[in-house]
Structure 1
Amino acid sequence: MTRPLAFTAAGQFWRGNLHTHSTRSDGVLPPEEVCRRYRAEGYDFLALTDHFIGSYGYPIVDTVPFRTNSFTTILGAELHSGAMANGELWHILAVGLPPDFTPPDSPDFLPKPGQETGPEIAARAVAAGAFVAVAHPQWSGLTLADARSITAAHAVEVYNHGCATGCDRPDGFAIADLLLTEGRKLSLIATDDAHFSEPDHFGGWVMVKALENTPEALLAALKAGAFYSSQGPLLHDVRLEGDHVVIESSAVVSAMAMGHGTGAKAVHGHSMTRAEVPLARLNGSPWVRVAVVDAAGKRAWSNPIWRD
């Protein structure tokens, strides 16, 4: 593999947010207005993922009426069941759930003896057809053992804009990199986790490569890893060429490659649209991911390339 699938798959890029809340759980805007705002901001699709607990009626919100010819939605929810190592309730993002997904025994945000574990509900969501991601690892206080246990996950949420603006705990890269180093072939998503109660919206998204902007095509591309994540910069191509990685993008000031352990290398410049980053300092890492940073400090991130 010399390129992430996002740069080899057929189709075009569609911009979307995969983690959003409304008045159907703890958000402050009704679903129709949430969809309207994302559509007005130029998004191509949205997953409304309200908290799937009993006190909110276990919502999988029907957003089909808010689709247009240029904007679509994917049904989903943020699932909760079982305790993490810190004793708090799991948060697991599930995009592409069927509307009749069976609720767990999760009446509120407190773990309950005997309820499904986080790994069990994640596996059940995947079996039901969902794209599943481990949500906001830093905010949750997730341990590596916690993360390892979600063996069904497709992805880790590596940037959460709501956690950035609300508590300065947006990161999932530390956990994701350790899982990659253990051989887990995961993808990496940036999201908003928007509630619209603070400036937690329009700050992190995925760019999904698909032939058409339909829930089915987008969901298949997400599961395949045919996307990259961004706060603003565009990635046009990422490819391995011999002993370096070539990154083509919108204008950036930094381009970097990361691998296992301390392996990393960056190049810097002005208004760069093409960068060649040498890989010698990645210490033979079996995987490589890249990031770019623009002059405003906004970032974009590729999914990992596996060097096998």
Structure 2
Amino acid sequence: MLLAPFDAPGSFFRGNLHTHSDMSDGALPPAEVCRRYKAQGYDFISLTDHFVGRWGYPITDTSAFRDDDFTTLLGIEMHSGAQKNGELWHLLAVGVPADFAPSNSPDFRPVADQESGPEIAERARQAGAFVAIAHPQWSGLTEEDARSISAAHAVEVYNHGSHTLADRGTGMPILDLLLSEGRALTLIATDDSHFKGPDAFGGWVMVKAKANTPGDLLTALKSGQFYSSQGPEIHGIWYEGDRVRVSCSAASQVIVQAHNNASDVVTGDSLTDATIALGRMTHSPWLRVTVIDAAGKRAWSNPIWPAQL
């Protein structure tokens, strides 16, 4: 059985879902951010400036930079309420409406009488946005924090800026914990680019959609019709009950991960097709695939839920 998103109609479109401009703390104006991503071969971005009062709660209008080959989704990075460590929440809302109401978040410190992280996440989801927990490792997110965001569609498992500038770029432990508790989440790789250092063009999503339009992309994101990458391509994943087959660009490792510490791997030179017997993973409630190339770059599937197939 060929799995989503590879069995869906449409084409794959490459996009970055976490980006900043000089409308908040980025170095470049929105037009130049969009130009650079388009020049690098991206099909779309979401410019997610910091939604705080210091910059007037910007929802940066990027619609003027759309054309036949490149599009944008309105987005914000939301900050409201304190995590367990006392730091302000960081949550992505992609596809947020232009009139999304500000929270009481004057700056990057929690204040009294503002929405909690779970509350603003729920409000963004109800407004139609794709909601993701941003850079869990960099944020110092606890398990209790992560569990509280019930409105999230996804966890940011790779943040290129957090990786290159702080060596705290992963969110995979939080994702695996939530999956093993039954949460139906997807995973995203992003840049979190500010263009003040080497923080751009390092992590992206490949979205299978009918067309490269904001509406089609947002629908596909919410339904999990995508995979994430730092470079490798995944061409197909087949679930065959007792095994998983993966077709991909040239790789050195293809791994299937499952509940608890279960996993198995195929290794080799320039692998483009690998079949992994599930063995003790056969009864895992979820599976996911990682493809690693010779340079150590990774691509990740969204979780597979065998009971739903």
Q: TM-score range by the shorter chain?
A: over 0.9
- Which residue number corresponds to residue 128 of structure 1? 127
Task: Map Cα deviations across residues 155-202 of structure 1 (whole Å, 9 max, x no partner).
Answer: 000000001101001111100000000110100000000000010000
User: Between the two proteins, what is the percent identity of the paired residues?
Assistant: 63
Q: Which consecutive segments of 4 or more residues in structure 1 shift more than 3 A?
A: none
Does the Cα contact within 8 Å between 1:97 and 1:125 map onto a contact in 2? yes
Classify 1:77/1:4 alpha carbon distance in 2 versus 1 (closer, same or farther; 3 Å). farther
| Paired residues of 2:241 and 2:282 also in contact (CA < 8 A) | no
Matched, 1:217 2:189: no
Describe the SS at the equivalent of 2:18.
Answer: coil
Shift of 1:278: 1.7
Task: Measure how far apart 1:284 and its partner are.
Answer: 2.5
Q: Could you tell me which residue of structure 1 aligns to residue 293 of structure 2?
A: 294
Q: Distance in 2 between matches of 1:120 and 1:99?
A: 19
Distance of 2:286 and 2:264 partners within structure 1: 14
> What per-residue deviation string (whole Å, max 9, x for no partner) do you get for residues 222-273 of structure 1?
0000000001111010121131110000110100000111111111001110
Q: What's 1:13 paired with?
A: 12
Q: Does structure 2 conserve the Cα–Cα contact (< 8 Å) formed by 1:4 and 1:226?
A: no
RMSD over aligned CA atoms reads 0.9
2:276 matched to which residue of 1? Answer: 277
Alignment partner, residue 29 of structure 1: 28
Deviates most, 279-288 or 249-258? 279-288
Quick check: 2:3–2:239 contact (8 Å CA) kept in 1? no
The C-alpha deviation readout for 1:127-158, integer Å capped at 9, x for no partner, is: 11100000000000001110110001000000
1:13-41 Cα deviation digits (max 9, x unpaired): 00000000010111101100000000000
- In structure 2, the residue matched to 1:253 is 252
TM-score normalised to structure 1 length? 0.98
Match status 1:198 vs 2:197 = yes
State the distance in 2 between where 1:136 and 1:259 align: 22
**What residue number does 2:114 align with?**
115
| Separation of aligned partners in 2, 1:59 and 1:41 | 25
Q: Which residue of 1 aligns with 2:71?
A: 72
Q: Give the 3-state SS of the residue equivalent to 2:121 in structure 1.
A: helix
| Aligned match of 1:91 | 90
Matched to 2:122, the amino acid is: A
Aligned to 2:61: 62
Deviation at 1:3, TM superposition (A): 4.9
- Give the TM-score normalised by the residue count of structure 2: 0.98
User: Aligned partners of 2:75, 2:12: CA distance in 1, in Å?
Assistant: 21
SS of aligned partner of 2:269: strand
Distance 2:7 2:303 in 1: 14
The answer on whether the counterparts of 1:293 and 1:300 sit within 8 Å (CA) in structure 2 is: yes
**1:91 & 1:275 partners in 2: Cα distance?**
37
Q: Secondary structure at the match of 1:7?
A: coil
State whether structure 2 residue 295 is matched by structure 1 residue 305.
Answer: no
Q: Which residue of 2 aligns with 1:233?
A: 232
Structure 2: runs of 5 or more not aligned = none
Q: Secondary structure of 2:5's match?
A: helix
Does the alignment pair 1:174 with 2:153? no
Question: In structure 1, what is the Cα distance between the partners aligned to 2:239 and 2:285?
Answer: 12
Q: Aligned residue pairs: how many?
A: 307
Matched, 1:266 2:285: no
CA distance in 1 between partners of 2:125 and 2:131 (Å) = 7
Q: Who is 1:47 aligned against? A: 46
Cα distance in structure 1, aligned partners of 2:205 and 2:187: 9
- Could you tell me whether the CA contact under 8 Å between 1:255 and 1:266 is conserved in 2? yes
